[in-house]
Chain A
Amino acid sequence: MTPPEVSQRSPVAALVLGWILPGAGHAYAGRWGKAVLFFLCITGLVVAGLVLADGTNILPRRLWYAAQVCAGGPAVALTPVSQYVASRGPVDWADPFHEMGTLYTAVAGFLNLLVMMDAYTRLAYPHRPQDAAEQEEDA
């Protein structure tokens, strides 16, 4: 029986790439299917959230931004757009669709944190069972 192949790729690079572009950490690790899935889901949530809030919800002066910025590149790239749109007129913070849009972008950030950690652990601990089904079998 041959030992499992150990990747020479850096887990920290996977973490950083995963922040710059959601799913890029998994692409770096050679998992292209998951990379595309994560990119579509997380970027889709950020864009949908911004549209729901009429482009006014990714603002650094709000506490939500701490979660939103975890979505990485898409959230950071859309920040100036959101600042510009918000500066053009009053924002209805209590509008339910605005709140929902903010929730979408914040959840996208938390999901990207999870995805980044997944990309990191897959490269940092290659000998551990990565699939929950394998873990159940080992137990």
Chain B
Amino acid sequence: MWEVVASFFAHLVSADNPLWLYYPLCLVVAVVYKATKFDDPKRILRAALHFFVSVTLGMFALAIVFYLIARFL
């Protein structure tokens, strides 16, 4: 089980994996979306960071689930 998880992380951070490009994309989406919602720069930053972390963790959890399904089914 732990070998599977370790191989998942190894694949995730490998140089030829373009998945890391999702992070800047997600960050820009979070900043622009929250900038249309709020006027105060501090509030924009805080809300954008919250949005970014929530989306990233959610996608990360989904990725683990799909990886395990693909691995064992």
What is A's interface to B at a CB cutoff of 8 Å? 33-34, 37-38, 41-42, 44-45, 48, 52, 96-97, 99-100, 103-104, 107, 111, 114-115, 118, 130-133
Known: A38-B35, A42-B32, A131-B38. A107 touches B25 (CB 8 A): yes
Chain B, range 30-48, C-beta contacts under 8 Å to A: 31-33, 35-41, 43
B59 within 8 A of A: no
The answer to whether B31 touches A103 (Cβ under 8 A) is no
Instruction: Collect the chain A residues with CB atoms within 8 Å of residue B57's CB.
Output: none
- A80→B32 CA distance, assembly (Å): 27
Contact assessment for A97 and B18 in the assembled complex, using a CB-CB cutoff below 8 Å: yes
Contacts across chains A and B counted by CB atoms under 8 Å: 49
Is B21 an interface residue, CB under 8 A from the partner? yes
- 17 more contacts with CB within 8 A, not counting A96-B17, A100-B18, are A37-B32, A38-B32, A41-B28, A45-B25, A48-B24, A100-B21, A104-B25, A107-B25, A111-B29, A111-B32, A111-B33, A115-B32, A130-B39, A131-B38, A132-B37, A132-B38, A133-B38
In whole angstroms, how far apart are the Cα atoms of A34 and B37 in the complex?
11
Q: How far is the CA of A130 from the CA of B18 in the complex (A)?
A: 37
Identify whether the interface residues of B are mostly helix, strand, loop, or mixed.
helix
Interface size on B, residues (CB 8 A): 18
Looking at chain A's contact residues, the main secondary structure is: helix
- Chain A residues, CB < 8 A from B21: 52, 97, 100, 104
Chain B residues lying within 8 Å of A111, measured Cβ to Cβ, are: 28-29, 32-33
Give the docked Cα–Cα distance between A16 and B28 (Å).
23
30 residue pairs A–B, Cβ–Cβ below 8 Å: A33-B41, A34-B35, A37-B31, A37-B32, A37-B35, A38-B32, A41-B28, A41-B31, A41-B32, A44-B28, A45-B25, A45-B28, A52-B21, A96-B17, A97-B18, A99-B18, A100-B21, A107-B25, A111-B32, A111-B33, A114-B32, A114-B33, A115-B32, A115-B36, A131-B38, A131-B39, A131-B40, A133-B38, A133-B40, A133-B43
